[in-house]
Amino acid sequence: MKPLDKRLLKYAGAARAFLFTGALLGLALTILVVAFCFLLSQIVVRAIAGDSLDSLMPMLAGLAGVIVLRSIVTWLLDWTSARAGAVVKSQLRRRLLSAIAALGPGWLSRRNATGVATVAGTGLDSLDSYFSRYLPQLILTVIATPIIVLVILFSDLPSGISVLVTLPIIPVFMVLIGWATQTMQRRQWDSLQRLSTGFLDVVGGLATLKLFGRQHRQAARITSITEGYRRETMSVLRVSFLSGFALELAASLAVALVAVSVGIRLIDGSLGLSVGLFVLLLAPEAFLPLRGVGTQFHNAAEGVAASEHVFEILDEAERMPALAPPAAGSPGRDVPTGRLQPAGRLILHDVGVEYAGVPAVSGFTGSFAAGSLSVITGASGAGKSSLIAAMLGFVSHSGLIALDSVPVAAAGGSGTDWVAWTGQRPGLVSGTVLENITLGSGVVDRSLAIRALALASAAEIELDLPLGAAGSGLSGGQAQRIGIARAVYRSLARGCPVIILDEPTSALDSATESSVIDGLKELVRTGRIVILVSHRPGVIAAADARLTVNAPIGVGI
């Protein structure tokens, strides 16, 4: 684990600003430490020599001023580091969310979504300790320790040599302890992700578990994972306390060697009291930043481990090819109702999709004409959803996907303005039905939303009906029709020439399905390309064209 990952400076500008500010504050703090030790040693020596209080007053006032300034600079360093931690977390979180959006649902479907959420939430929050405790000590180690060692060498060469010889002991201990801690910290982080994933799975499937009487077994499983996380956490804490003791012992012995050397030379008269006392006061300060780095290493380890996952995601998003720039005047704004972007044919030529080298779709060729209702069929696992994901740009693909001979990445200006879509799960969010239907629209048009509901055979659903998380409050069929209405609204509002619906009627009865198909045929008559993925006989019978996707050779269905 690197003390400071260069990618942190790359992805979070606030980290660079903090390092600069922290370096200035660290330099000021170091100067104040040296001044404090010098003034204190001089006051003690002069007081022993019999100087009056009046003669010592200027130095006492200077010492008081140094103490006040040292407190202020220490507070500023703490405040700056806490603020930098908050800003860096915000910057990384924004970039992470943007990277996840850029990588798309296809990428996320192959990852542990709960793990990604844990990294974006709890993981990044643990950077607080890294910035407020670990990084300031690291800055002081780079700035304060060399300066203090040079001052000791200049003041008393033998003491300086003793510090130089004993100082590397602490980094050696830190490296050895760090290797052990890194392994334990990764195990602890993995346990936390398993716990988060397991708990989410139990909550999501609680109704099924309750029905089959298996909820108690899952409770025992969560208890077991929690106990494992507790053990890993206690192991990390155990190593943390032991390493803290080892570092304190090493630093104390090193300072003791300096003290013995100074004491012997004070007795034989080869060293003056003012120099000896100054060196004794300054020697612990040379070891203090290194001790702080070692002590705070464990507090920062979880945040650093989480940030590595964040950097991996950001690096992967950076390696993605950039989308074509938006065309002038078109990106993302709703166009007037009925203003359809003209399209003649959506063409797919030799399209292939692979996941980790395993083909999901291979060599698919077909086309969809404007003013037609087309259905894509195929056995379960043949790659229908992967084909749709390729058309939407959610996964990388080979071959050509073009709208009127223009690759779809550039067809709509901003990459997806050419298409309206709803998936197998409607993806509803907390809010009203109107907010769900007009999701992503710059302008909310109630009359257009009412029309979209009617075309989706959901006119009986009130626009102002509040929905809970994931659309709770609706039946499965109602949620599915709200998803269809959302796609219809987008097509009407933005003039999208293509509408793609993945298993849109799987939760509907035959009569409602027939009504939905009638609504979609109204859109077909406006010149749109409507594509359905379905196994339902009623949908297949109503389609103007049917394309079948076959599983790639060698891939099981």
**Same domain, residue pair 220 and 349:** no
- Whether 403 contacts 499, CB under 8 Å: no
Parallel, antiparallel, or unpaired for β 431-432 and 466-467? Answer: antiparallel
Domain extent for 529: 345-548
- Could you identify the residue written with the tokens 């407020």? 132
Mean pLDDT, residues 145-163: 88
Q: Is residue 336 part of a domain?
A: no
pLDDT tens readout for residues 479-524: 889 999 999 999 988 888 899 998 888 888 889 999 999 999 999 9
CATH number (domain holding residue 397)? 3.40.50.300
Query: What is the rounded distance in angstroms from the CA atom of residue 439 to the CA atom of residue 433?
Result: 10
Quickly list H helices, 353-401.
384-392
Q: Model confidence at 234, in pLDDT bands (50, 70, 90)? A: confident
Cα→Cα distances 432→169, 428, 459, 462, 504, Å: 64, 10, 15, 9, 21
Round to whole Å and give the CA distance between 14 and 22: 12
Give yes or no: residues 49 and 114 share one domain.
Answer: yes
Per-residue model confidence as pLDDT tens digits over 235-248: 767 776 776 677 77
39/128 same-domain check: yes
In SS3 terms, 138-184 reads as HHHHHHHHHHHHHHHHHHCHHHHHHHHHHCCHHHHHHHHHHHHHHHH
Residue 518 to residue 453: CA distance in whole angstroms = 13
**Three-class secondary structure of residue 414 per DSSP:** coil
295, 357: one domain: no
d(CA 298, CA 245): 13
Task: With a cut of 60, say whether residue 405 has pLDDT above it.
Answer: yes
Pick from 327-336, 359-368, 437-446: least confident? 327-336
Could you tell me if residue 556 is inside a domain? no
Looking at the 3D structure of the chain, how many domains does it have? 2
**Same domain assignment for residues 254 and 356:** no
Instruction: Judge whether 428 and 455 are in contact, CB under 8 Å.
Output: no
Residue 231 falls inside a structural domain: yes
SS (H, E, C) 531-555: EEECCCHHHHHHCCEEEECCCCCCC
Residue 235: give its domain's CATH number: 1.20.1560.10
Domain boundary among 259, 283, 318: 318
Tell me what pLDDT residue 531 has.
92
Q: Does residue 306 fall inside a structural domain?
A: yes
Q: Are residues 279 and 349 in the same domain?
A: no
**481 and 517 assigned to the same domain:** yes
- Model confidence, pTM: 0.64
| pLDDT (tens digit per residue) in 246-269 | 777 777 787 888 888 888 888 888
Percent of the chain with pLDDT over 70: 82
Residue 331 lies in a domain: no
My answer on whether 74 and 208 are in the same domain is yes
Is 301 found in the same domain as 419?
Answer: no
Q: Could you give the C-alpha distances from 246 to 134, 241, 550, in angstroms and in order?
A: 18, 9, 65
What are residue 367's phi and psi, to 5 degrees? -150, 155
| Beta strands 358-369; 498-502: pairing state | unpaired
Whether 170 and 302 map to the same domain: the answer is yes
Between the ranges 30-34, 283-287, 298-302, where is the mean pLDDT highest? 30-34
Helices (H), 268-362: 273-318
For residue 548, what are the β-bridge partners?
A: 377
Domain match, 307 and 361 both: no
Say how far apart CA 191 and CA 230 lie, in whole Å. Answer: 9
Residue 289 pLDDT: 84
Say if residues 121 and 309 touch (Cβ distance below 8 Å): no
Inside any domain, residue 191: yes
Other CB atoms within 10 A of residue 394 CB: 22
Of 273, 301, 318, the one marking the end of a domain is 318
- Domain endpoint, select from 253, 283, 318: 318
Q: Are residues 76 and 210 in the same domain?
A: yes
What's the pLDDT tens digit per position in 7-66? 888 888 888 888 899 899 999 999 999 999 999 989 998 898 888 888 889 999 999 999
Residue 65 lies in a domain: yes
Q: List 31's β-bridge partners, or say none.
A: none
Q: What is the DSSP letter of 123?
A: I
- Residue 460 counted as domain residue: yes
Q: Which pLDDT tens digit goes with each residue over 369-401?
A: 988 899 999 888 788 888 888 888 778 888 888
- Place 183 in a pLDDT band, splitting at 50, 70 and 90: low
> How many whole angstroms separate alpha carbon 202 and alpha carbon 195?
11
Alpha carbons 475 and 509: distance in angstroms, whole number = 13
Instruction: For residue 163, give every residue at least 6 positions away whose Cβ sits within 8 Å of its Cβ, in sequence order, or none.
Output: 149, 152, 254, 258, 283, 286
How far is Cα 327 from Cα 414, in angstroms, rounded to an integer? 7
